[in-house]
Amino acid sequence: MSLAESLKPHLPYLRRYARALTGSQKSGDAFVKATLEAIIADPETMSDGENVRVQLYRIFAGIWESAHVGVADDPDDNTAQSHLNAIPPISRQVLLLTALEGFSVSEVAKIADVGENSINDLLEDAISEIDKEIRSDVLIIEDEVLISMELQQIVSGLGHNVCGTATTHKAALDAVAKSKPSLVLADIQLADGSSGIDAVKDILEQISVPVIFITAFPERLLTGERPEPTFLITKPFQPNAIRAAISQALFFSTKAQNAQG
């Protein structure tokens, strides 16, 4: 198998991670592009016999850590940067690598170039800062009852308020009309055959709100051919993945800062 073929299946998920880390598709994709350019320039950075995905993320981490650039696309908007400063970059990386990307402790240690014994402390640092995050109103768009209930428990357990639930496109818009959420969790396939993507598109025409997509079909969104969600969780999910995504989404939300003020 060629190097390009071995990397291809991992790129959609690296883009997902990059966007969660930086808070935007533009910035995240730029770092992924730089990572691929570095590998093309020096293919020997990818060692034979080692875990390809771990090596890919390790190279990405080195480039991201050395860049020292702000994360907000808008130079007049420092909201994202000020939120991110609350969590040390290394702790944030460790949280996302474990909760969102599902790497083991030993793999995270290789990617982030830190000792395995320090991983738990870094996670605790990130989680403690998350717990200090502002409380928000959350709309859940999900047609599977058990998953919706689990999401409600996770959201409530984090101290946020579930302001509404919906199983269809129309119900989602009705819920937004009744209570303007600060965050939306959305599946892409809904009960009546309608699209969660279309529902979110219509919601965003009414209000500015961060969205986390939760889907069993991430490949439908991670195509690299059109605007893609910054925050995407794959089913079946771990509660910590939802927790990490909520934290990151709120970090990058100007609405969150306005609610706090």
- Write out 121-135 in H/E/C secondary structure: HHHHHHHHHHCCCCC
3 or 230, higher pLDDT: 3
Lowest-pLDDT range of 46-50, 101-105, 199-203:
46-50
pLDDT tens digits for range 150-190: 999 999 988 899 999 999 999 999 999 998 899 999 998 89
Closest C-alpha among 192, 200, 259, 208 to residue 228: 200
pLDDT of res. 110 = 94
Q: Are the beta carbons of 241 and 213 closer than 8 angstroms?
A: no
> For the whole model, what pTM was predicted?
0.65
C-alpha–C-alpha distance, residues 164 and 152, integer Å: 10
Residue 101, C-beta contacts closer than 8 angstroms, at least 6 positions apart = 13, 17, 57
Which residues on neighbouring strands pair with residue 184, listed in sequence order? 139, 211
Q: Is the peptide bond before 89 cis (omega within 30 degrees of 0)?
A: no
Q: Report DSSP letters for 95-121, one per residue.
A: HIIIIIT---HHHHHHHHT--HHHHHH
pLDDT tens digits for range 216-235: 877 666 665 555 666 888 88
Closest C-alpha among 33, 37, 56, 36 to residue 46: 56
Report the percent of the chain where pLDDT is more than 90: 43
pLDDT tens digits for range 62-96: 999 887 544 444 443 444 444 445 667 888 889 88
pLDDT of res. 59 = 96
Residue 74, C-beta contacts closer than 8 angstroms, at least 6 positions apart = none
pLDDT tens digits for range 19-35: 888 877 888 899 999 99
* 134 confidence band (pLDDT: 50, 70, 90): low
Report the chain's mean pLDDT, rounded to a whole number: 82
